[in-house]
Structure 1
Amino acid sequence: MNTEVVLRRAGGPDAGAVADVWLRSYSTALPTVVRARSDDEVRAYFRDVVVPERETWVAAAGGRIVGMMVLADGLLSQLYLDPAWRGRGVGDRFVALAKELRPGGLTLWTFQVNKPAHRFYERHGFVAVEYTDGSGNEEREPDVRYVWRP
């Protein structure tokens, strides 16, 4: 599969595909984490809030959305890839874009059980600075806050 991947801002018509990538990625990467919202609620959230109101980026390849990233000020609030596109450099490109757009630094949260995400972010210079019991997130899942400073 040698399809060119283009990173671009998401638009309203992308919302369904963005939500689908999030759902597939979450189910694959976090099988033990109970989601706080149903599939329909997730799709509505992406349609009504995330894509229209947040700085949402997509990775598009061959006419399909294969990844998504959301930035909010200095927070990298979401980065999810279609499972078939993991390990192919798309996440690296998203992080490089996030650093370019937020040169003063970034912070993010990931679940403690998501060890592949820990390795990924640490490889990109993020440092774990806080561990919680999960009482501050809607999944009630222990998480970790990472920070990148240039």
Structure 2
Amino acid sequence: MPQPIIRPVRPDEYDEVARVWMNSWVSTGLEDASDAVLARLRARIAMGAEKGSSLYVADDNGKLAAMLTLHLPDRYLDQLFVAPEYQGDGLGRQLLAFTRQQMPDEIWLRCVRENEKAWRWYEREGFVFEKEEVEPAIGRVMKYYRWRKGD
């Protein structure tokens, strides 16, 4: 079966991207699905686009399988979320390889401390833990990671 194609998002897909993001986030067990969560994520997508983030989707023949947000000037991987039905099939690694093509020398990211599955995956993928810090906007402790080419 062919891998989904990573491509820039279209503005008419923001609602579907927010749903993929919410379903992936909810699969961590850290929050329940709700219209409020969906609305919050939808607003963050639009805000990110306005602030210069690059938003990509993994398109599986017209179905969105994942979303990826990068802020290239800061070498920041902002969001990487794979729809639950696509998790465990290598799509996360495909998105990370794409990210490394866009930012070949260095990438940093933050991950919610309670999302152990995610941060352990980033560690296996070569990211190095740097610090923990409370993110006041969401009230959660974030783990900061960095990857550098050649490390």
Tell me the TM-score range normalised by the shorter chain. Answer: 0.7 to 0.9
SS at match of 1:18: helix
Q: 2:55 is matched by which residue type in structure 1?
A: T
Q: Alpha carbon RMSD of aligned pairs, Å? A: 2.0
Partner SS for 2:27: helix
Partner of 1:94: 95
Contact 1:4 1:62 in 2 (8 A): no
**Aligned with 1:95: secondary structure?**
helix
Q: Which amino acid aligns with 1:49?
A: M
Alpha-carbon displacement from aligned partner over 1:91-123 (angstroms, at most 9, x marks no partner): 101111111110120000001111111121112
One-letter identity of the residue aligned with 1:81: V
Q: Distance in 1 between matches of 2:138 and 2:111?
A: 12
Matched AA of 1:50: G
How far off is 1:62 after superposition?
2.7
Residue in structure 2 matched with residue 40 of structure 1 by the alignment: 39
Alpha-carbon displacement from aligned partner over 1:60-119 (angstroms, at most 9, x marks no partner): 113111100000020000000101111111110111111111012000000111111112
SS at match of 1:29: coil
Task: State TM-score, norm by structure 1.
Answer: 0.86
Please tell me whether the aligned partners of residues 22 and 37 of structure 2 are also in contact (alpha carbons under 8 angstroms): no
Aligned equivalent of 2:81: 80
| TM norm structure 2 | 0.86
Contact kept? 2:128, 2:147, Cα under 8 Å:
yes
Runs of 5+ unmatched residues, structure 1: none
Q: d(CA) in 1 for partners of 2:110 and 2:71?
A: 13
Displacement after TM superposition at 1:51 (Å): 4.6
The corresponding residue for 2:17 is 18
1:16 corresponds to which letter in structure 2? Answer: D
Matches within 5 A, 1:1-150: 2=1, 4-31=3-30, 38-46=37-45, 48-51=46-49, 53-73=52-72, 74-132=75-133, 134=134, 136-150=135-149
Matched residues in 2 for 1:22 and 1:56: separation? 12
Name structure 2 gaps, 5 residues minimum.
Answer: none
**1: CA distance, partners of 2:16 / 2:113:** 27
1:4–1:95 distance in 2 versus 1, CA, 3 Å = closer
Q: Identity across aligned pairs (percent)?
A: 24
How far the C-alpha of 1:30 sits from its partner, in A, is: 4.1
